[in-house]
A and B are shown apart, each in its own frame.
Chain A
């Protein structure tokens, strides 16, 4: 799947299997929210981001309308991925919205701003994925690109 962010004129690629994996993680925690770290790599010209996997947090708090993930232990895993022959990077975050839309909240925007401005984050445009689920199925999902305090939605070409 390839989607486009028209604000930045960049694209995002991912396999349907990755969405199935995320869906399954989200269902496991339904009716509470759940989420984690998005992993991927950039094309040499930095025009395309390819999502390859997700990492789940070691520690988290999960509620119906709130998800808090810790960064405990994630450094080691990310450095391991960075040291692979085919380097993989932390590229953003995902979380579920049970029985709610895939629109981001102010809390989500603030979290992404804090992430992008952190000294240990070396990318300027982290990605946010929100998956909307109910007790039966994944209803919808939306990818956002963070740029300068704003989240911009990806869309089909």
Chain B
């Protein structure tokens, strides 16, 4: 029997919800808080309040691969150079956690992978260290300079990158349709071992919704976004501006051959799924671990907060026709 594509994709999204791993998520949040407090305690008035960022803050996280991110905004005069700042934070975190975690330098962040606990849960926290662009301006403009530890597309000659993480978070606020598609593409990339950056998939999905008229059911929307990627990614003038710094073109993180490859993959996926709807299960698999849990919820009205009926407050205007 043919697979109902939209119904399948709904189940894919459902079984990959973060709500399924509430207990693990609590452990992550606890660790994140601990790291935040340690940084605040050590750097005191050298930093502004650390903020949460990353996919969880953007509501695009999936439960098979995620970390929690903290952004630590340093004041302009805290260090002479960005490299010195980055290394100082690394040294501090390394000393503090070396016995209980792997602490490593990444492109623009410091990764802390805590050793698995008794339940086998490994906690990953990414610390992004930034310095305000202009003295005392961070609270006004949120602009930060990050130290770049290795190649990042066209920026391979640079040792820093200007960004605005708040603007990146704001860029996706309220975009519920886009979030569903971003989560599906992240599930595709994770389960099919694709190396595309989540941020790239996020920006190209938002751009597709901006440029095209995307509507219909979940499959219609996903297909439209995949078609947009297929048609546009290889165009010479195609850009993906980072909302945190419009001088950064995230499309440039891919080489030309990688773009052609991506376009072909989208084309094959669309035709394979249209030719045989069962193929959708290969590209977008259900998270079997939580399938039963979803089935058990049949026979009940669904709540987002476990079994607690919390008040729901509509917060924006809605049109009905």
With A33-B320, A107-B321 known as contacts, the answer to whether A123 contacts B302 (CB < 8 A) is yes
A122's partner among B7, B299, B310 (CB-CB below 8 A) is B310
CB of A118 within 8 A of CB of B315, answer yes
A residues less than 8 Å from B13 (CB atoms) = 148
Identify which of A20-28, A74-82, A134-142 touches chain B: A74-82
A residues 80-112 near B (Cβ < 8 Å) are: 82, 87, 89-91, 93, 95, 105-108, 110-111
B residues less than 8 Å from A124 (CB atoms) = 301-304
CB of B318 within 8 A of CB of A69, answer yes
B residues 174-189 near A (Cβ < 8 Å) are: 176-177, 179-180
B residues 292-321 near A (Cβ < 8 Å) are: 298-305, 307, 309-321
Q: How many A-B residue pairs have CB under 8 A?
A: 139
Residue B192, interface by CB 8 Å? no
Residue B53, interface by CB 8 Å? no
The smallest C-beta distance from A49 to any residue of chain B, in angstroms, reads 6
Complex interface bits, A127-157 against B, C-beta within 8 A gives 1, otherwise 0: 0000000000000000000011110000000
B residues less than 8 Å from A37 (CB atoms) = 314
Complex interface bits, B1-14 against A, C-beta within 8 A gives 1, otherwise 0: 00000110011011
With A124-B302, A124-B303 known as contacts, the answer to whether A111 contacts B318 (CB < 8 A) is yes
CB of A71 within 8 A of CB of B311, answer no
Residue A18, interface by CB 8 Å? no
Residues of A in contact with B, size category: 35 or more
CB of B303 within 8 A of CB of A114, answer no
CB of A113 within 8 A of CB of B176, answer yes
CB of B318 within 8 A of CB of A93, answer yes
Complex interface bits, A4-28 against B, C-beta within 8 A gives 1, otherwise 0: 0000111000000000000000000
A118's partner among B180, B299, B310, B316 (CB-CB below 8 A) is B316
With A107-B320, A108-B321, A119-B59 known as contacts, the answer to whether A74 contacts B313 (CB < 8 A) is yes
A residues less than 8 Å from B313 (CB atoms) = 71, 74-75, 78-79, 90, 120-121
CB of A122 within 8 A of CB of B305, answer yes
Query: Which single residue of chain B is at the shortest CB-CB distance from A105?
Result: B321
Query: Which single residue of chain A is at the shortest CB-CB distance from B317?
Result: A70
CA distance A117 to B7 in the complex (A): 17
A residues less than 8 Å from B247 (CB atoms) = none
CB of A78 within 8 A of CB of B319, answer no
Q: Please name 4 further chain A to chain B contacts, defined as beta carbons within 8 Å, in addition to the given A74-B314, A122-B309, A123-B304, sorted by A numbering.
A: A69-B317, A71-B317, A71-B318, A123-B309
18 A–B contact pairs at CB < 8 A?
A42-B309, A46-B307, A49-B301, A65-B321, A66-B319, A66-B320, A71-B314, A74-B313, A82-B311, A106-B215, A114-B176, A115-B318, A120-B315, A121-B313, A124-B303, A124-B304, A148-B10, A149-B6
B-binding residues in A (CB < 8 A): 8-10, 33, 35, 37, 41-42, 45-47, 49, 65-71, 74-75, 78-79, 82, 87, 89-91, 93, 95, 105-108, 110-111, 113-115, 117-126, 147-150
